[in-house]
Amino acid sequence: MISQTAEYALRAIVWLAGHPETSLGTPHIAAATHVPAGYMSKVLQALARSGLVVSQPGRRGGFQLTRPPSKISVLEVINSVDPIQRIHKCPLDLKSHGAKLCPLHRRLDEAMASVEDAFAGSTIEELISDPTRPTPLCESGVGLGQSLSGRAIGPQITRPGKGPGIRGNQE
């Protein structure tokens, strides 16, 4: 449905949204979101290029959101790293079809459009403020990015993983 890269980008943005007061680097964010550090580094670079996050240099530097979570849609995050591919013209390049899609490709594009609409109408704020559900990325009872012991999660729990590649496959 959405690519692994898009899912990882959402994890990063959700984690940063839960930590407005901090500015931590790639290793910390990668560990907290259970993403290989090399992969997360590329995801954060893409998010920075799109203007959703900024990177502060220096020893105490790190990443921060550029807007409040209520002003960032799920769709923006996905489209920043691996946009949902709409069908704008015949994938078979049939000249007589052009932009007037046949029922097969119209049906597929309608599904993509409905997903786009749903994600455009969901904000990051909604994902971190539902008291009836587990907190994203965290074991219950602890805040975003904290371990069960209450200590901030460090890079030591980074999982080994396959190499990155900014466009991932579907999960």
Which residues are 13's β-sheet partners?
Answer: none
Among the residue ranges 41-49, 59-67, 109-117, 150-158, the one whose residues contact a copy of itself (CB under 8 A)? 109-117
Q: 37 vs 101, which CB is nearer to a copy of itself?
A: 101
Tokens at 132, concatenated = 């009836």
Q: Decide if residue 115 touches a copy of itself (CB under 8 A).
A: yes
Q: Determine contact, residues 137/7, Cβ cutoff 8 Å.
A: no
CB atoms within 10 A of CB 55: 15
Tokens of 64: 């921060």
Map residues 32-71 to x or -, x wherever contact with a copy of itself holds by CB under 8 A: -xx-------------------------------------
Q: What mask, x for binding a copy of itself by CB under 8 A, covers residues 125 to 154? A: -xxx-x--xxxxxxxxx-------------
Is residue 165 within 8 A of residue 38, CB to CB? The reply is no
Q: Is 166 in the site for a copy of itself (CB under 8 A)?
A: no
Segment near a copy of itself (CB under 8 A), from 19-27, 47-55, 65-73, 84-92? 84-92
Residue whose C-alpha is closest to residue 155's, from 141, 164, 145: 145
Does residue 52 contact residue 77 with C-beta atoms inside 8 Å?
yes
123-144 burial, b at 16+ Cβ within 10 Å, e below that, comes to bbeebbeeeeeebbbbeeeeeb
Of the ranges 36-44, 46-54, 58-66, 92-100, which one interacts with a copy of itself (CB under 8 A)?
92-100
Residues of this chain that bind a copy of itself (CB under 8 A): 1-3, 7, 10-11, 14, 33-34, 74, 84-85, 90-97, 100-108, 110-112, 114-115, 118-119, 122, 126-128, 130, 133-141, 169-171
